[in-house]
A and B are shown apart, each in its own frame.
Chain A
Amino acid sequence: SQQGEEDPQALSIQEGENATMNCSYKTSINNLQWYRQNSGRGLVHLILIRSNEREKHSGRLRVTLDTSKKSSSLLITASRAADTASYFCATDAEKLVFGKGTKLTVNP
């Protein structure tokens, strides 16, 4: 299985702080994606990083990828209460396989 595993399982921070979530996976990948899920809703795609990329930015999001360690991190800078959600990484094969997610709570 190429399932990604997120770490930590839960993270609680204050508004304005940065939030870092990690993802580890087991086998070679073509790309890794991060998704966000608000409670009771579907997943929303945040960012895709390809295996030949090391870092990617999108607004307040920064994603890194270390293929030698088979790991990725998602950094959300200057967090807001609206960032409260679960965040999932997904690795590709013929289908995307999701981890269990990190539940982020940003306290006002």
Chain B
Amino acid sequence: NAGVMQNPRHLVRRRGQEARLRCSPMKGHSHVYWYRQLPEEGLKFMVYLQKENIIDESGMPKERFSAEFPKEGPSILRIQQVVRGDSAAYFCASSTDRGDEKLFFGSGTQLSVL
């Protein structure tokens, strides 16, 4: 049973470009969470999704950021018109049920904006 798969592992973008981060949850998991981590910081919640639904996006910036978890395929975190401040590690986690159960994390995508 493969774990949570995130790709790419590293992503380099120039200011103004778009970044697409992908996350395939563990088999059987229908809940996906995206977190952002700055160096030496904890994880900041961004968005919580179930299949085809955004349940909680309270941690996601209102502009330029969007997330989806389609019926088929991975969850996508999309950042439009990236700026240097978007540089961070983005982690995806999945669970079988809502947030009171343990999360399984992917290895993250390190986004660097030049």
Contact = CB atoms under 8 A, between A and B. Distances in A.
Contacts of B104: 45
A41 interface: yes
Interface residues of B, number: 27
Given A43-B105, A88-B43, A94 B33 contact: no
B99 to A, nearest CB: 4
Contacts of B103: 43, 45, 96
B98 interface: yes
B42 interface: yes
Contact of B107 (A41, A94, A98): A41
A100 B42 CA distance: 4
A95 B91 contact: no
Given A33-B102, A94-B48, A95-B56, A42 B108 contact: yes
A89 to B, nearest CB: 10
B20 to A, nearest CB: 19
Given A42-B91, A42-B107, A95-B33, A100 B102 contact: no
Contact of A43 (B43, B100, B110): B43
Q: Which of B40, B100, B110 has the most CB of A within 10 A?
A: B100
Contacts of A43: 43, 91, 93, 103, 105
Nearest to B99: A95
A42 B42 contact: no
A98 B98 CA distance: 16
A30 B100 contact: yes
Interface of A: 30-31, 33, 35, 40-45, 48, 88, 92-101
Closest 10 CB pairs of A and B: A42-B105, A100-B42, A45-B102, A98-B43, A92-B100, A95-B99, A43-B105, A98-B42, A42-B107, A30-B100
Given A95-B56, A96-B99, A96-B103, 12 more contacts: A35-B105, A40-B110, A41-B107, A43-B43, A43-B91, A45-B102, A94-B48, A94-B55, A95-B45, A96-B33, A97-B45, A100-B41
